[in-house]
Structure 1
Amino acid sequence: MKAKIQFISAMLIFGSLGLFVRPISVSSAALSLMRGILASVFLIAFVFFSRQTFSFAAVRKNLHLLLFSSAAMAFNWIFLFQAYKYTTIANATLSYYCAPIIVVLLAPVILKDTFSWQKLLCVVVAMFGMLFIVKSSPSQSSSYDHIKGIFFGLCAAGLYASVILTNKFFKDLSGLEATLMQLIFAVAVLLPYVLIFEPFSPAAIPSSSVPYILILGLFHTGFAYLLYFTGVKHLPASSIASLSYLDPISAVLFSAVLLSEPLNFFQILGGIFIIGSAFFSQKKPKSLNSADTE
């Protein structure tokens, strides 16, 4: 029960991410950099004070994979934050949640997985869901440019899918070790990018944004990742797959209830199509004697 509470808490924290990104008045790249720095410091402190074992040999063995996935993670954050700026949190979240569908499309090529009729149907249904969301959102409004925001969300989804697929090739690397190194390397990627393309001074950060940046880096990233990896170790795969959908569902509900963002019938239908497709694409036929755990 404790592990399930930890995992659910992590999903709800991830789901509230957009609420805390919205009030921050800095560029998406600078925000991603600060998020990475704060989360890295949090997890390094946790590893040090809790005396967690950390295998640098495993890090060296997976270095090329870590570098690639870290760069993808860094720009994934930038595109996701851009999506939050240009469209509603619901639209950004649902377009971002096309990542599992992209994984389904690429897995037969990269992971040599089988591509069944069930997965093909899920891909088609997800595409219809995305079409519903795009068509139900006016291309521009007084405060949004939905098409641009959804495009950024899909770019973030593609990058996140590449992180998921790359992580499948890690060997002898724990989830905590992989995530901490990805955060550190993401900072190494983002720092020169921000310095070259988006000159940024911490002194220029509006004081009203500082609390939200701290919460985003320490709570939504460092602490939430810790909850996630602590809980996931003790849960069966079926529970992890099912509970993961609390993230996008809670994000949509939070934005509608707390921010009063518009949410029409076709957006809801599109969201059901996308989330449902992602869920069923991960379902595997089970025999009567099969166990829940992998």
Structure 2
Amino acid sequence: MNYSAMIKLALSMALFGSIGFFTRQTGIEAIELVFVRCICATVFLGGLWLLTKRYKTEKWEKQELLRTVLCGVFLVLNWVFLFKAFEEMAISVAISIYNIAPIFVLLFGALFLKEYLSIGAIIATASCFFGSVLIVGFDELGSIDAVLNSGFVWAFLSACFYALTMITSKTIQHLSSYALTFIQTTVGIVMLAPFCDFTVFSGLTTSNWTYILATGFIHTGFVYYLFFDSVRSLSTIVVSVLVFVDPLVAIVLDVLILSFRPDMWQLFGMALIFGGIVYTMYEPMRSRKTA
């Protein structure tokens, strides 16, 4: 057991779990925040890429580079939609919906890659969807306007694009983690610059800037460094367990600091979502063991 790698991955997930709280303190909206985040991450991870001299051993392939750029587009949209969801709904609710991404990976695989979808996976999908409805609330989803104003669509889209990011990244085999992330965050800078309202940065306080830079350098640069430096040294089952540190920290901070108080139906909805996710991750492992 690689305890050093486990600690790094757990720390990266714990830090990422606090991103919703930090986002609320930045004083800027999703597009501008993701733009700054991409700049910070590009500087941080680009510097590590140069210091480790991994750029000298990169294997550049045209098709893989194009897939990396596409993956970068998906990643940036995932961040923008997640931060938009944080603006409209409780962090616990948004992060619960966001974490149904593995279910979308399963569905996209069945739809586009003709992969087999078991009865258990279908039940897990239905469980996650019904859980999402419960934690947002039937009243909030009673009309199209209510749905659009609830943040549900943003959280749902963030999960979709997170799943697309995961699927696309699996096709990238030769680039190092540093090169992959450097390209993705550079794509984010180019992609978001035309849509940024740069006037929002003029009235920010020192506290705002502290949270903004922390979101960029800590939650993106440092977290990605810890994640990539640890995940390849751990088994799939250990990674699958430790990623739940992220939503756990997010929910705890939301309850303790931001005074979120889930009702009985929301708690039941969260249980349905995470139950479905756990089943989705462990069913393939169980199948391999019994094969």
Normalising by structure 1, report the TM-score: 0.88
Q: Specify the alignment match of 1:39 in structure 2.
A: 41
How many residue pairs were aligned? 284
Shifted more, 49-58 versus 207-216: the winner is 49-58
Over residues 252-283 of structure 1, what are the superposed CA-to-partner deviations in whole Å (9 max), with x where a residue is unaligned? 11111122112122112111111221121122
Letter matched to residue 82 of structure 2: L
CA–CA separation in structure 2 for the residues paired with 1:247 and 1:121: 24
Structure 1 residue 48, shift from structure 2 partner:
1.7
Q: Specify the alignment match of 1:217 in structure 2.
A: 216
Counterparts of 1:101-120 in structure 2, within 5 Å, are 101-120=103-122
Counterparts of 1:110-189 in structure 2, within 5 Å, are 110-135=112-137, 147-189=149-191
Q: Specify the alignment match of 1:281 in structure 2.
A: 280
CA–CA separation in structure 2 for the residues paired with 1:109 and 1:180: 30
Shifted more, 53-62 versus 97-106: the winner is 53-62
CA–CA separation in structure 1 for the residues paired with 2:182 and 2:77: 17
CA–CA separation in structure 1 for the residues paired with 2:198 and 2:26: 17
Find out whether 1:25 has 2:27 as its counterpart: yes
CA–CA separation in structure 2 for the residues paired with 1:273 and 1:59: 42
Over residues 96-154 of structure 1, what are the superposed CA-to-partner deviations in whole Å (9 max), with x where a residue is unaligned? 112111111111233332111111111011111112112267579xxx99952122111
CA 1:177 to 1:289, structure 2 compared with 1: closer, same or farther past 3 Å? Answer: farther
Letter matched to residue 229 of structure 1: F
Structure 1 residue 12, shift from structure 2 partner:
0.4
Aligned match of 2:81 in 65, 79, 82? Answer: 79
Letter matched to residue 281 of structure 1: T
Structure 1 residue 209, shift from structure 2 partner:
0.8
Q: Specify the alignment match of 1:100 in structure 2.
A: 102
Q: Is the 8 A contact 2:8 2:230 kept in 1?
A: yes
Structure 1 residue 64, shift from structure 2 partner:
1.7
CA–CA separation in structure 1 for the residues paired with 2:194 and 2:170: 28
Q: Is the 8 A contact 1:11 1:244 kept in 2?
A: yes
CA–CA separation in structure 1 for the residues paired with 2:86 and 2:95: 8
Q: Is the 8 A contact 1:6 1:231 kept in 2?
A: yes
Q: Is the 8 A contact 1:139 1:147 kept in 2?
A: no
CA–CA separation in structure 2 for the residues paired with 1:42 and 1:68: 22
Secondary structure in 2 matching 1:282: helix
Structure whose residues are more often helix by fraction: 2
Structure 1 residue 53, shift from structure 2 partner:
4.4
CA–CA separation in structure 1 for the residues paired with 2:72 and 2:251: 27
Letter matched to residue 210 of structure 2: P
Secondary structure in 1 matching 2:116: coil
Normalising by structure 2, report the TM-score: 0.89
Secondary structure in 2 matching 1:151: helix
CA–CA separation in structure 1 for the residues paired with 2:138 and 2:248: 19
CA–CA separation in structure 2 for the residues paired with 1:125 and 1:280: 10
Structure 2: gaps spanning 5 or more residues: none
Over residues 19-60 of structure 1, what are the superposed CA-to-partner deviations in whole Å (9 max), with x where a residue is unaligned? 100011112111110000001101111122233345554364
Find out whether 1:3 has 2:5 as its counterpart: yes
Secondary structure in 1 matching 2:150: helix
Structure 1: gaps spanning 5 or more residues: none
CA–CA separation in structure 2 for the residues paired with 1:203 and 1:130: 38
Q: Is the 8 A contact 1:74 1:187 kept in 2?
A: no
CA–CA separation in structure 2 for the residues paired with 1:15 and 1:113: 31
